[in-house]
């Protein structure tokens, strides 16, 4: 056992037990799985992913590449998993597994607003939160550790004359006493988006996967990033053995968890920060064989303190090899000359622990996600923030600032500025005082050379999680790659679960040496993308899973449809009545009856699911003129017009009817499944392409219920429904609308619109009056045998008239001209997609056109999707050139036969020709016709 008898921040009164890969280990409350393994002298955590080499715990934070655990289906670093009694986990070498059983854990989401959000609970973050909240600002503090304090909990630093941990406790109590401050512990900020929008993943208890987790959606006026820095290693031969750890991790395990990682230690460093680790190891009773410092003249005070403690300092030297059958048993050190080559005789030092510090990388990931730019700091040998957002500050180690006094000053100033900028000027107060040295890097070392050609250095590991080596990088550069992004993808270095937190800058240093450039600053970094640390899909989904994964949307009339025995189909997320079978009817019979009712009497349909968007503003007409292929700007108030939208490449996007409600207000309808897509399309063009236009778009789909009343007797029914409305042809022309009051006192907007070719009205009422109005329409047409119909009948009726449905008769490769809808495409104005209609490909004569098909056998029903060929078509190699395919196919009651619509190459010039639809067991001969198969003159539209 390597647990010290005293010390640490664990609760020794609460002993626990847990298992890893079936082996039981002791722990205390406050331990992580990693710290308990270190305390049990069980550093080896499993083989590496590809090379199957033994690997051990390397870090103490989210940057851990080796010790990965399957915790109830989540792949998590052992360094972030708190031990609870009975916890059972398994190691995973960078590869998780899909869990077959249902996840019973609870995942929530919540929304929060803050004047100032402080990310990071170390000294700089605490100073910022104290200053920002002093004047009453709402402050949200986010920290991924169980308790605030950061580095102050692990060292002997003092602040304002108090021990660091005492100052942290006092600061925590001050924040707790301020009512507008909220502290989220065990909460990692995983994404930083536009306008200071943060995603924060919080583990609300210590047991991942089996207890509640919460995803916070945070909007802040001001953000202070105090995310700290990650220590990096050095690349040398066999630098991946268990027992090799980052110096800061060795120190954290010792001071926070009273876990001694080794009895005989060598410390290898390029900077000041590893010296406290050596001194604390010695004070804990370990033997520190030597501090190996790459610098020829380390600071004298540090060297002196080490020598007083009996620690030998080997300056100007570096570790360049390790020994051991598994866990490290010794290191080889040599002198390093000015051009980073090894000179002179080497020394072998026996040890069971090697603590390495190759420098520090500011944790700039969230800053970069927020579109912040970086610059290379040669003194620190690291990338640090350059230019960020206007309502943002980066402080402390995240900003490349390491002296404790400077961290506290930066945090205090940033918090005070944030409070003042958000309207809460903080009372003047002193900056906490402290003194500490750390982070001097006059001589960075990325790579300690081995023997022979670097392309053969397969034991010099750059990325431990991906087994990425110097040899892999040299192979990439010799293949001609120069970009760090390309080399990342070629070698997979930095693509693991840790997303290159430990290997990214190290890889840039090795690449720089391979390419012979001055420094990693000449290369830049790879892109830092969210999430900053792994987040489960279950947490992102929250409660939107199982039956809630795809919410069901229903109209206000849904209860009536269910009671009437409707069969439903899913259209988008909507439950739409498909058909209404009566006793003994199958689908074909029910649809036949419903079609005849609409063509010969009167029928009604629930059309509430149609997308509905209001467009408001002084430039609404101009905006829609640019969006639709036909003109909308001069549409009279009170009138309606069919409109078609195209994508930028000229292909049909969606269609619907536009009503002009006022000079500056329009009402648009869209297809049911395309409503969200169209709203996104409108927002994209209004916000990014034409921001100068005064226009706003609002979805009102669920605010309105729509009832289509269709058929020769529709005028009589609507006249009874709205007795004060003139429903005559002259008084209420086609493609106009009227605002009126129904006989039951409900305000309605009624439009003369037809998707069937018959006399038709669309009755629109507020959503909460939908069910009552549906009942009123039924009552008004009861003596006329008014018949409800569903989407299948709607499809038959519109197809008989040759009306296409976007997404069924189009597939993203169809222009309005292909549909025979030149009449809806203006030649006098500009609109999205117009230029594309003039491309050679868009006007070639052999494009596929929408046509009608009549099977020679009047009873033969073509399958939708069936391919069409010319009679006798074929080639010597057995291939058959396809002319097109069937898009819609139905049985028509009014035509008393089957018919179809199809996209056929050069279809309009094939009208009258016979084609074949080859099926598995037969061929169906069809005659190509005009798309409109019924009432081509349109006489029935007005009744």
Residue bearing the bigger pLDDT, 858 or 444:
858
* CB-based contact 351:328 (threshold 8 Å): yes
Residue 658: phi and psi, rounded to 5, are: -110, 130
Q: Distance (Å, rounded) from C-alpha 568 to C-alpha 570? A: 7
Q: Is the pLDDT of residue 435 over 90?
A: no
pLDDT of residue 873: 74
Beta bridge mates, 225: 119, 394
Q: Is the pLDDT of residue 341 over 50?
A: yes
Residues 189-242: pLDDT tens digits? 999 999 999 999 998 664 544 447 899 999 999 999 999 999 999 999 999 999
Q: Distance (Å, rounded) from C-alpha 56 to C-alpha 225? A: 31
pLDDT of residue 84: 92
Q: Distance (Å, rounded) from C-alpha 307 to C-alpha 277? A: 14
317 burial via Cβ count (<10 Å: 0-12, 13-18, 19+) = buried
Averaged pLDDT, 635-647: 97
Please count the CA atoms within 13 angstroms of the CA of 853 that sit on its side-chain side: 35
* CB-based contact 488:511 (threshold 8 Å): no
> Could you tell me whether strands 704-710 and 737-741 are parallel, antiparallel, or unpaired per DSSP bridges?
unpaired
Instruction: Kindly report which listed range (146-150, 189-193, 207-211, 692-696) carries the lowest average pLDDT score.
Output: 207-211
553 — alpha (psi -120 to 50), left (phi > 0) or beta? beta
Q: Is the pLDDT of residue 695 over 60?
A: yes
pLDDT of residue 877: 64
Instruction: Kindly report which listed range (109-113, 310-314, 336-340, 695-699) carries the lowest average pLDDT score.
Output: 336-340
pLDDT of residue 538: 86
pLDDT of residue 210: 44
Q: Distance (Å, rounded) from C-alpha 862 to C-alpha 890? A: 8
Q: Is the pLDDT of residue 413 over 90?
A: yes
* CB-based contact 144:431 (threshold 8 Å): no
Instruction: Kindly report which listed range (152-166, 716-730, 800-814) carries the lowest average pLDDT score.
Output: 152-166
Q: Is the pLDDT of residue 634 over 90?
A: yes
Residues 741-765: pLDDT tens digits? 999 999 999 999 999 999 999 999 9
Residues 456-481: pLDDT tens digits? 999 999 999 999 999 999 999 999 99
Q: Distance (Å, rounded) from C-alpha 275 to C-alpha 357? A: 10
Averaged pLDDT, 429-451: 76
Q: Is the pLDDT of residue 426 over 80?
A: no
pLDDT of residue 682: 98
Q: Distance (Å, rounded) from C-alpha 356 to C-alpha 461? A: 14
In percent, how much of the chain has pLDDT > 70? 98
Question: Which residues touch 897 (CB under 8 Å, ≥6 apart)?
Answer: 854, 855, 858, 859, 891
Q: Is the pLDDT of residue 524 over 60?
A: yes
491 burial via Cβ count (<10 Å: 0-12, 13-18, 19+) = buried
* CB-based contact 72:208 (threshold 8 Å): yes
Residues 349-377: pLDDT tens digits? 999 999 999 999 999 999 999 999 999 99
Q: Is the pLDDT of residue 156 over 90?
A: no
Averaged pLDDT, 721-736: 97
Residues 835-893: pLDDT tens digits? 999 999 999 989 999 999 999 999 999 999 999 999 987 655 667 789 999 999 999 99
pLDDT of residue 208: 47
Residue bearing the bigger pLDDT, 572 or 127:
127
CA-based nearest residue to 141, from 385, 411, 463, 534: 411
Q: Distance (Å, rounded) from C-alpha 509 to C-alpha 844? A: 55
pLDDT of residue 209: 45
The pTM of the full predicted model, rounded to 2 decimals, is 0.76
Mean pLDDT of the chain: 93
CA-based angle 732:737:738, to the nearest 5? 80
Residues 759-785: pLDDT tens digits? 999 999 999 999 999 999 999 999 999
């Amino acid at each position: 056992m390597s647990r010290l008898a005293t010390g640490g921040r664990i609760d020794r009164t609460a002993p626990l037990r847990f298992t890893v890969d079936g082996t039981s280990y002791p722990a205390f409350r406050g331990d992580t799985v990693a710290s308990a393994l270190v305390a049990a002298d069980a550093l080896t955590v499993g083989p590496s992913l590809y090379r199957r080499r033994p690997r051990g715990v390397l870090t103490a934070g989210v940057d851990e590449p080796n010790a990965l655990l399957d915790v109830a289906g989540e792949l998590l670093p052992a360094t972030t998993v708190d031990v609870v009694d009975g916890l059972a986990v398994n190691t995973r070498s960078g590869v998780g597994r899909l869990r077959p059983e249902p996840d019973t854990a609870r995942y929530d989401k919540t929304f929060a607003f803050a004047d100032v959000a402080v990310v990071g609970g170390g000294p700089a973050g605490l100073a910022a939160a104290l200053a920002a909240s002093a004047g009453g600002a709402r402050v949200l503090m986010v920290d991924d550790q169980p308790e605030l304090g950061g580095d102050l909990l692990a060292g002997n630093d003092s602040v304002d004359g108090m021990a660091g941990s005492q100052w942290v406790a006092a600061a925590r109590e001050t924040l707790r006493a301020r009512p507008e401050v909220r502290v989220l512990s065990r909460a990692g900020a995983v994404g930083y988006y536009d306008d200071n929008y943060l995603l924060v993943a919080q583990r609300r208890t210590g047991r991942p996967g089996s207890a509640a987790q919460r995803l916070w959606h945070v909007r802040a006026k001001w953000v202070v990033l105090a995310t700290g820095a990650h220590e990096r290693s050095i690349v040398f031969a066999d630098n991946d053995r268990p027992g090799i750890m980052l110096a800061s991790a060795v120190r954290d395990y010792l001071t926070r968890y009273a876990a001694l990682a080794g009895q005989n230690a060598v410390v290898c460093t390029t900077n000041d920060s590893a010296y406290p680790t050596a001194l604390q190891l010695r004070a804990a009773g370990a033997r520190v064989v030597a501090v190996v410092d790459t610098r020829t003249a380390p600071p004298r005070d540090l060297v002196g303190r080490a020598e007083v403690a009996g620690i030998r300092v080997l300056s100007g030297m570096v570790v360049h090899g390790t020994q051991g059958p598994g866990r490290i048993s010794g290191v080889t050190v040599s002198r390093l000359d000015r051009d980073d080559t090894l000179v002179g005789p080497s020394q072998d030092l026996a040890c069971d622990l090697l603590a390495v510090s190759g420098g520090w990388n500011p944790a700039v990931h969230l800053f970069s996600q927020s579109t912040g730019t970086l610059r290379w700091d040669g003194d620190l040998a690291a990338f640090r923030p350059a230019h960020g957002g206007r309502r943002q500050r980066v402080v402390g180690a995240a900003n490349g600032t390491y002296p404790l006094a400077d961290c506290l000053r930066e945090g205090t100033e940033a918090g005070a500025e944030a409070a003042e900028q958000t309207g809460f000027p903080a009372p003047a107060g002193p900056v906490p005082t402290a003194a500490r040295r750390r982070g001097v890097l006059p001589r960075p070392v990325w790579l300690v050379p081995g023997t022979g050609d670097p392309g053969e250095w397969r034991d010099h590991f750059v990325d431990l999680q991906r087994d990425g080596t110097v040899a892999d990088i040299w192979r990439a550069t010799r293949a001609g790659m120069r970009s760090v992004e390309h080399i990342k993808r070629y070698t997979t270095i930095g693509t693991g679960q840790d997303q290159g937190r430990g290997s990214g800058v190290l890889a840039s240093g090795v690449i720089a040496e391979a390419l012979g450039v001055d420094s990693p600053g000449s290369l830049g970094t790879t892109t830092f993308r969210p999430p900053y640390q792994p987040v489960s899909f279950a947490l992102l989904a929250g409660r939107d899973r199982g039956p809630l994964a795809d919410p069901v949307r229903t109209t206000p009339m849904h209860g009536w449809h269910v009671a009437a025995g409707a069969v439903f189909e899913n259209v988008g997320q909507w439950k739409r009545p498909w058909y209404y079978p009566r006793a003994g009817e199958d689908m074909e019979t029910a649809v036949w009856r419903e079609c005849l009712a609409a063509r010969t009497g009167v029928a009604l349909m629930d059309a509430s699911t149609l997308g509905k968007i209001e467009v408001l503003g002084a430039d609404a007409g101009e905006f829609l003129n640019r969006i639709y292929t036909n003109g909308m700007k001069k549409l009279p108030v009170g009138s309606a017009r069919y409109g078609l939208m195209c994508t930028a490449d000229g292909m049909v996007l969606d269609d619907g009817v536009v009503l002009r409600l006022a000079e500056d207000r329009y009402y648009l309808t869209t297809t049911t499944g395309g409503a969200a897509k169209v709203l996104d399309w409108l927002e994209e063009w209004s916000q990014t392409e034409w921001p100068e236009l005064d226009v706003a778009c609002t979805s009102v789909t669920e605010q309105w219920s729509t009832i289509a009343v269709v058929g020769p007797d529709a005028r009589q029914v609507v006249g009874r429904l709205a007795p004060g409305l003139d429903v005559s042809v002259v008084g209420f022309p086609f493609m106009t609308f009227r605002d009126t009051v129904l006989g039951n006192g409900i305000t309605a907007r009624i439009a003369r619109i037809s998707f069937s070719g018959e006399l038709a009205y669309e009755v629109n009422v507020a959503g909460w009056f939908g069910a009552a109005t549906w009942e009123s329409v039924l009552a008004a047409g009861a003596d006329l045998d008014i018949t409800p119909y569903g989407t299948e009948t709607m499809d038959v009726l519109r197809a008989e008239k040759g009306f296409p449905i976007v997404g069924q008769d189009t597939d993203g490769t169809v222009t309005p001209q292909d549909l025979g809808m030149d009449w809806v495409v203006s030649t006098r104005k500009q609109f999205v997609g117009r230029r594309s209609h003039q491309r050679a490909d868009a006007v070639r004569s052999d494009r596929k056109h929408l046509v009608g098909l009549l099977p020679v056998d009047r009873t033969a029903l073509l399958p939708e999707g069936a391919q069409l060929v010319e009679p006798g078509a074929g080639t010597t190699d057995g291939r058959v050139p396809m002319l097109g395919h069937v898009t819609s196919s139905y049985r028509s009651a009014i035509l008393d036969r089957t018919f179809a619509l199809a996209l056929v190459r050069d279809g309009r010039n094939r009208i009258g020709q016979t084609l074949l639809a080859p099926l598995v067991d037969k061929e169906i001969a069809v005659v190509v016709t005009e798309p409109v198969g019924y009432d081509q003159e349109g006489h029935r539209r007005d009744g």
